[in-house]
Amino acid sequence: MNSVLVGIYIAITLVFIAFSAAGIYHLWRFGYSGDLSKIIIVIYSVISIAVVVVSASIISFRAFGG
């Protein structure tokens, strides 16, 4: 996998992280007490971190370490 594709992957991942931060802020700021906002924040964060960490690990290992 050449460095251009890795660069695209990194750029999209950064955009995704920024977008997720904005979304989580909205839920945190405008959520209502006792609703599902906090639970969704946790679920979304866990899945997002898992996707980013696993994919980044595999790609970096295969692209640069393998």
Partner 1 sequence: MKTSDKYFPSQEQGEKVFLLVRKHWWNYVPFAITGILMILPIIAVLMYWSANSASIPYETGTMIIGGLAIYCMFTLGVQLIGFISYYLDVYIVTDHRIVDIDQAGLFNRKISELHLHQVQDVNAQVKGIFATLLHFGDVNIQTAGERENFTFSAIPNPYTVAKQIINLHEAHIEPLTEDGTPTAVAADISKQAEPDRGMDIEDIEAQAKELMSQTTMADRLKSGGLVQAKLVMPTPGSLAVDQSIAATKKPVSVQKNEMPAPKPASVVNTNEIEEGELTEGKEVDLK
CB atoms within 10 A of CB 52: 14
Query: CA 1 from chain center: how many Å?
Result: 21
- Among 3, 16, 42, 46, the residue binding partner 1 under the rule CB under 8 A is 16
- The dihedral sign for the CA sequence 41, 43, 44, 46: positive
Is residue 18 close enough to count as binding partner 1 by CB under 8 A? no
- Shortest Å distance, C-beta 16 to partner 1: 4
Query: CA 44 from chain center: how many Å?
Result: 9
Instruction: Give the residues lining the site for partner 1 (CB under 8 A).
Output: 1, 5-6, 9, 12-13, 16, 19-20, 22-23, 26-27, 29-33, 35-37, 40, 44, 47-48, 51-52, 54-56, 58-59, 62-63, 66
